[in-house]
């Protein structure tokens, strides 16, 4: 058994012994001596720390297995007294053992002052730190921002739906509100690109067309930001991406007979619709027309040899392809984000623009935001932000090493410490909604 396990076992036995036997009983003394001996082995001349995290005991960052004798009861003793950690000094003495054991046996109550009780018993060889009752302000701010981002995304969804309805019934619509909401997304993109890319993990069961448009916009904007486009450029690119499939509103998507005409004609019809709206910016119209053109001259609508589509059209084509790959289709399973990036790179130079394909790989990284990953310590989480090291992003842990869902997800930066990513998991295989975990 580990030295940490021995300390926990000895501490647990000592608590029992002082409850069961009077101080004069040999079992009482034996239990305290055993605790002193266990701490001595564990410290080995340096401080030794036991800490509580998410209801489990750790020795520094090494989790204490549940089957260690006394682990449960000591974890509870910590929890009930809001103890976050105990640091044992090499000087840990018999008096410390006795005082600590007594204090950990006092009835927990809000008025119990563990520090004062230890001091009153002359304990010097062990120091205690406490769980913070007030929530970490940084974490609180992050959660507030997360809610605000989601609200923004939902609002954009509502605005886009209304616009689609207008186009479907009247062939035209008022885009002023859409322009405003896209500007809001760009503001957030410039402040926190990972948060915006994370929003694209949201997939509704219904309204696939809406989510597709929104998420294509998110990926196109990620490309635009990586390219270093100025804000007006991002605005034009974002709006163009959002509107790229607007031509589909002229068709009945529930009618199988219209599927082929919709596929073939929506670029041209979309360009016509956007021409009627008469935006000052020609971007959306161009992108609607060109987003299915391939760089090798293929695709549709037909175009002359040597025709070069607008850069925004080529960027939206990449974002469109990537979105379709990660979302999956009725006849094709979704790809995990890392594999979808690889597939986009495979299509570079024939269908997709090779420069922008590489830019996507660059913008999203080896493990794009939203990848569900298993770590070397068996925990499972979602990539929340890229790190400086492309294989060591920040991961939001959703499941602990036993597969138990965390109520309060923690973020860990893989750049700090030895934990690494073992594999990317297909969320459906675990029944996980990634957007929910991010």
Residues that bind Fe ion (CB under 5 A): 245, 320
59 to each of 62, 92, 410, 420, how far by Cα in Å?
5, 17, 18, 20
Residue 65: which residues within 8 A CB-CB, separation 6 or more?
Answer: 5, 71
Minimum distance between the CB of residue 264 and Fe ion, rounded to whole angstroms?
10
Cis peptide before 417 (omega within 30 of 0): no
Spatial strand order of the sheet with 62-63 comes to: 62-63, 56-59, 48-53, 83-88, 126-130
Minimum distance between the CB of residue 420 and Fe ion, rounded to whole angstroms?
36
- Cα separation, 215 vs 369, in Å, equals 13
Q: Which is nearer to Fe ion, 13 or 320 (CB)?
A: 320
Q: Which is nearer to Fe ion, 4 or 214 (CB)?
A: 214
Minimum distance between the CB of residue 140 and Fe ion, rounded to whole angstroms?
38
Q: Which is nearer to Fe ion, 211 or 399 (CB)?
A: 211
Minimum distance between the CB of residue 53 and Fe ion, rounded to whole angstroms?
44
Q: Which is nearer to Fe ion, 6 or 245 (CB)?
A: 245
Minimum distance between the CB of residue 182 and Fe ion, rounded to whole angstroms?
17
Residues 215, 327 contacting (CB under 8 angstroms): yes
Q: Which is nearer to Fe ion, 40 or 245 (CB)?
A: 245
Q: Tell me the angle at which helices 337-346 and 311-327 cross, rounded to the nearest 10 degrees.
A: 130
Q: Which is nearer to Fe ion, 195 or 288 (CB)?
A: 288
Minimum distance between the CB of residue 219 and Fe ion, rounded to whole angstroms?
11
Structure tokens at 55: 């209801």
Minimum distance between the CB of residue 346 and Fe ion, rounded to whole angstroms?
19
The 10 Å Cβ neighbour count of residue 149 is 18
Minimum distance between the CB of residue 208 and Fe ion, rounded to whole angstroms?
11
Q: Which is nearer to Fe ion, 201 or 320 (CB)?
A: 320
The residue with tokens 């031509």 is 247
433 to each of 31, 163, 205, 383, how far by Cα in Å?
49, 28, 12, 13
- Cα separation, 220 vs 353, in Å, equals 13
The residue with tokens 């040999």 is 26
The closest alpha carbon to 79, from 116, 118, 52, belongs to 52
- Cα separation, 255 vs 23, in Å, equals 85
Q: Which is nearer to Fe ion, 243 or 348 (CB)?
A: 243
């Amino acid at each position: 058994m580990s030295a940490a396990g021995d300390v926990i076992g000895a501490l647990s036995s000592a608590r029992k012994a002082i409850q069961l036997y009077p101080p004069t009983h040999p079992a009482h003394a034996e239990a305290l001596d055993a605790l002193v001996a266990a701490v001595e082995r564990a410290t080995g001349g340096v401080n030794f720390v036991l800490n509580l995290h998410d209801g489990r005991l750790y020795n520094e960052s090494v989790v204490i297995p549940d089957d260690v004798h006394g682990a449960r009861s000591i974890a509870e003793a910590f929890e009930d007294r809001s103890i976050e950690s105990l640091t044992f000094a090499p000087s840990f003495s018999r008096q410390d053992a006795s005082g600590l054991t007594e204090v950990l046996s006092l009835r927990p109550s809000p008025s119990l002052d563990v520090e004062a009780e230890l001091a009153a018993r002359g304990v010097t060889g062990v120091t205690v730190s406490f769980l913070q009752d007030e929530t970490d302000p940084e974490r609180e701010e992050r959660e507030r921002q997360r809610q605000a981002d989601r609200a923004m995304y939902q609002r954009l969804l509502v605005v886009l739906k209304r616009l689609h309805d207008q186009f479907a019934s009247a062939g035209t619509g008022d885009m002023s509100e859409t322009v405003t909401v896209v500007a809001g997304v760009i503001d957030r993109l410039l402040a926190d690109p990972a948060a915006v890319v994370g929003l694209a993990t949201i997939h509704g069961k219904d309204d696939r067309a809406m989510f597709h448009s929104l998420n294509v916009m998110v990926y196109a904007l990620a490309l635009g930001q990586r390219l270093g486009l100025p804000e007006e450029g991002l605005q034009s690119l974002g709006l163009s991406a959002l509107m790229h499939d607007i031509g589909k509103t002229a068709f009945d998507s529930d009618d199988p007979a219209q599927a082929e005409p919709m596929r073939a004609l929506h670029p041209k019809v979309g360009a016509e619709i956007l021409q009627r709206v008469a935006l000052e910016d020609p971007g959306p119209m161009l992108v609607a027309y060109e987003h299915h053109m391939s760089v090798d001259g293929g695709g549709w609508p037909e175009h002359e040899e040597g025709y070069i589509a607008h850069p925004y059209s080529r960027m939206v084509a990449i974002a469109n392809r990537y979105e379709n790959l990660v979302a999956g289709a009725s006849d094709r399973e979704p790809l995990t984000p890392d594999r979808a990036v690889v597939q986009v790179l495979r299509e570079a130079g024939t269908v997709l623009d090779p420069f922008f394909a590489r830019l996507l790989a660059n913008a999203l990284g080896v493990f794009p935001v939203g990848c569900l990953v298993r770590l070397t310590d068996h925990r499972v989480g979602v990539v929340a932000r890229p790190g400086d090291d492309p294989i060591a992003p920040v991961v939001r842990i959703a499941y602990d090493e036993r597969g138990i869902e965390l109520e309060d997800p923690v973020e860990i930066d893989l750049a700090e410490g030895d934990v690494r990513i073992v594999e990317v998991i297909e969320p459906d295989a675990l029944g996980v909604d990634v957007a929910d975990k991010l």
